[in-house]
Amino acid sequence: MTKKEIMRRIFRYIAGEKGLTFCSFAASAVYVALTLAVPILVGRAVGTLETGKIGGIFPYLAVILACAGAGALCQWIMGEINNRISVRILRDLRADAYRKLSKLPFSYLDRVPSGDTVSRIMTDAEALVDGILMGFTQLFTGVLTVVGTVVFMLTMNVTVTLVVAVLTPLSVFFARFIARGTFRHFKKRSELQADLTAYTEETVTGRKVVRAFGREEETYAAFAEKDEKLRRISGKAIFLSSLTNPVTRFLNALVYAAVTLVGAFLCVRGGNMTVGMLTSFLAYANQYTKPFNEISGVLAELQNAFACAARVFEFLDEEEETPDPADPAEVRVTGRVGAEDVSFSYTKEQKLIEHFSLDVRPGEHIAIVGPTGCGKTTLINLLMRFYDVNAGRMTVEGVDVRALRRRDLRASYGMVLQENWIGKMSVTDNIRRGKPDATAKEVEAAARAAHAHGFISRLPQGYDTVLEENGEGLSAGQRQLICIAAVMLVDPPMLILDEATASIDTRTEKKIQDAFEKLMRGRTTFIVAHRLSTIRNADKILVMNNGSIVESGTHEELLKKGGFYARLYNAQYA
């Protein structure tokens, strides 16, 4: 992404705050004018000394005080407004990023580490606002100060003004030269930082495994290597970017010397110059350096900010999932699901499901059977349209799922997996996640039906207990019961269930089994099955292996066929 594009994007955000931006500009213009007036007034005050009349100094002093008061007020207003603008833009950026997030396809979410996304939305967005917006406001006051100073100086003496005005821009030239050199380093630094962060996240999370295998040394060595790379490039980037300041300050000190020289000569040779004016000029030469310093400082900071901005906008530009159709089909879902000649794979290299067809009538139970890792997640991904098929079509009630709104499609499924997500919110809110307007009574009824009421009422605050992120503190079974309750509350026509294997204690397991049976009654159900009874009672069995569907049929049919299922069955149950 080029800087120009980044700028255009940022301006679009600023455009939303036109009124405030205008006020900020106005306040800073007044502030700059008032600050610039002070050196002139001081010069005049000094000038009165030469006349020898002390009384002449008082009006100037009064005006200086007035300027100081009004200037301070403007500066405060400016600060407040700029602060507001930048915070609002930060907020808008994050809100947009969140909107983006909710539209990203699972192919993105499954591929990109979550830490990377979080750092783009949190850290990079902040760096963008800090660097670029603060930069702009400084840039504006800076430029205004430069222009104002030149104007004020011109009113006093043209020759000295020329000395200042011609020499000073040199520093900007140098600053830009330096900035260009550092951009590359900052970008590289961002990349290395991201790599180190990913590695840190993973190894710190898995620290017990690392220690169990005595891998502390190696893990540390790899970390130190990444760290060393980062250290080198950071050192370079920081040093190079910080050169701007000394270089511009040097040039400005030279200007100061030149002004003194020329000014003093003009004074001596009677060239329309007084000591009072020289005082003002020197103050200007000093202040004049300040905006240039700031401008060049900003230019250096901007490099880092642009690198971060690029990461933010890259994220905002990620390809979204295909939008829902403008005119979505409305179907009354009775539970008829089909797959017509479906082919699907995550990557081109590894083919998974090919030419698969299936017709499920309302209320039928489909057992998904296969060895561990057979690819049941893939099937769920297609049913729920977390992923789109590569060829063929998935249907509900005979309608291509792509003609439906995703929301509607997903709302018609209730999904209970083994690992169930629990949010950091109250039990009630967790249960009514699919139906936020459900009453406390409805929630409790659902919890009772899911056999979750018992343990919930034993929690410290019952239904109001705020659960930990990821449901820490609850057992896997309890998490599953809460999820079942959530599904019961929504009462969807179709189900996707994952039968428990082992990580649940027996009493809870029974409850879950019982709740599953209740749920399945009269509903089209896809169930990842382990229990023989579930498999036998299914209307159809899909046998999966290595990600693809290898056989399908009823228990008897498949046994007769003597294929993969029969072998699996014999190994397991016979």
Q: Tell me which residues in 161-190 interact with another protein (CB under 8 A).
A: none
- DSSP state letter for 349: S
Whole-angstrom distance, CA of residue 417 vs CA of residue 261: 82
State the minimum distance, in angstroms, from the CB of residue 197 to another protein.
Answer: 5
Stretch near another protein under the rule CB under 8 A, chosen from 92-100, 135-143, 155-163, 332-340? 92-100
Residue 403 engages another protein in binding (rule: CB under 8 A): no
Closest CB to another protein among residues 50, 464: 50
Helix or strand or coil: residue 503?
A: coil
**Which 431-470 positions form the footprint of another protein (CB under 8 A)?**
433-434, 436, 469-470
- Cα separation, 194 vs 191, in Å, equals 5
The CA-based diameter of the chain, rounded to the nearest angstrom, is 121
C-beta pairs of 330-335 under 8 Å, 24+ apart in sequence:
330/408, 331/396, 331/397, 331/399, 331/404, 332/397, 333/396, 333/397, 333/412, 333/493, 333/494, 334/362, 334/397, 334/493, 335/360, 335/361, 335/362, 335/363, 335/364, 335/493, 335/494, 335/523, 335/524
In the region spanning residues 52 to 81, those forming contacts with another protein, defined by CB under 8 A, are 52, 54, 57, 60-61, 64-65, 67-69, 71-73, 75-76, 79-80
**How would you class 114 by CB atoms within 10 Å of its CB: exposed for 0-12, middle for 13-18, buried for 19 or more?**
exposed
Burial of 221 (0-12, 13-18, 19+ CB in 10 A): exposed
List binders of another protein among 469-528 (CB under 8 A).
Answer: 469-470, 475-478, 486, 490, 501-510, 513
Size of the site for another protein (CB under 8 A): 162
> Which listed residue (24, 28, 117, 428) binds another protein by CB under 8 A?
117
Q: Say whether residue 196 binds another protein (CB under 8 A).
A: yes
Phi, psi of 524 (to 5 degrees): -65, 125
State which of positions 530-549 bind another protein (CB under 8 A). 530-533, 535, 546
Residues 6+ apart with CB under 8 A from 189: 230, 233, 234, 237, 307
Residue 527: how many other CB atoms lie within 10 Å: 24
Handedness of CA 251, 257, 263, 265 (dihedral sign): negative
Q: Which of 121, 156, 307, 495 is in the footprint of another protein by CB under 8 A?
A: 121
**Contacting another protein (CB under 8 A), which of 3, 180, 211, 361?**
211
| Dist. CA 183–CA 299, nearest whole Å | 11
**Which of 264, 355, 464, 560 is close enough to bind another protein by CB under 8 A?**
264
Q: Which is nearer to another protein, 200 or 341 (CB)?
A: 200
- The token pair at 263 is 């000014």
Give min distance, CB of 2 to another protein, in A: 27
Span of 5-13, 154-162, 177-185, 372-380 interacting with another protein by CB under 8 A: 372-380
Q: Lay out the site mask for another protein across 23-52 (x = CB under 8 A, - = otherwise).
A: ------------x--x---x--xx-xxx-x
Which residue from 378, 300, 369 is spatially nearest to 342, judged by alpha carbons?
A: 378
Q: Smallest distance, Å, CB 4 to another protein?
A: 28
Tell me how far, at minimum, the Cβ of 243 lies from another protein, in Å. 6
**Which tokens sit at 488?**
């019961």
Q: Shortest approach of another protein to residue 280 CB, angstroms?
A: 10
In this structure, what is the dihedral angle of CA atoms 425, 428, 429, 431, given to the nearest 10 degrees?
A: 120
Work out how close the CB of 531 gets to another protein at its nearest, in angstroms, rounded to a whole number.
Answer: 6
Q: Which stretch binds another protein (CB under 8 A): 140-148, 200-208, 358-366, 515-523?
A: 200-208
- DSSP state, residue 323: P
179 neighbors 303 (Cβ within 8 angstroms): yes
Position among 15, 18, 268, 458 found at the interface with another protein (CB under 8 A): 268
Q: Give yes or no for residue 267 binding another protein (CB under 8 A).
A: yes
The arrangement of strands across the sheet holding 548-553 comes to: 413-416, 494-498, 524-528, 365-369, 540-545, 548-553
Residue 236 makes CB contacts below 8 A (sequence gap 6+) with 185
Q: Which of 3, 5, 22, 91 binds another protein (CB under 8 A)?
A: 91
Q: Is 95 in the site for another protein (CB under 8 A)?
A: yes
Q: Which of residues 220-249 bind another protein (CB under 8 A)?
A: 220, 223-224, 227-228, 230-231, 234-235, 238-239, 242-243, 245-247, 249
Q: Are 493 and 441 in contact (CB under 8 A)?
A: no
* Beta carbon nearer to another protein, 134 or 341: 134
Work out how close the CB of 420 gets to another protein at its nearest, in angstroms, rounded to a whole number.
8
Counting every residue, how long is the chain?
Answer: 574
Q: Which stretch binds another protein (CB under 8 A): 159-167, 219-227, 335-343, 555-563?
A: 219-227
Residues 313-352 contacting another protein, CB under 8 A: 349-350
Nearer to another protein, 419 or 557 (CB): 419
- From CA 271, how far away is CA 257, in angstroms rounded? 18
Write out the two tokens for 443.
């929630």
Closest separation in Å from C-beta 157 to another protein:
15
Shortest gap between Cβ of 297 and another protein (angstroms)? 11
Q: How far is the CB of 461 from another protein (least distance, A)?
A: 19
Q: Residues 551-570 vs another protein: string with x where CB under 8 A?
A: -----------------x--
* Interface with another protein (CB under 8 A), residue from 151, 158, 261, 440: 261
From the list 192, 308, 415, 549, which residue makes contact with another protein (rule: CB under 8 A)?
A: 415
**Residue 4 interacts with another protein (CB under 8 A)?**
no
Alpha-carbon distances of 176 from 164, 297, 301, 476, rounded to whole Å = 20, 10, 11, 58
Residues 463/438, Cβ–Cβ less than 8 Å? no
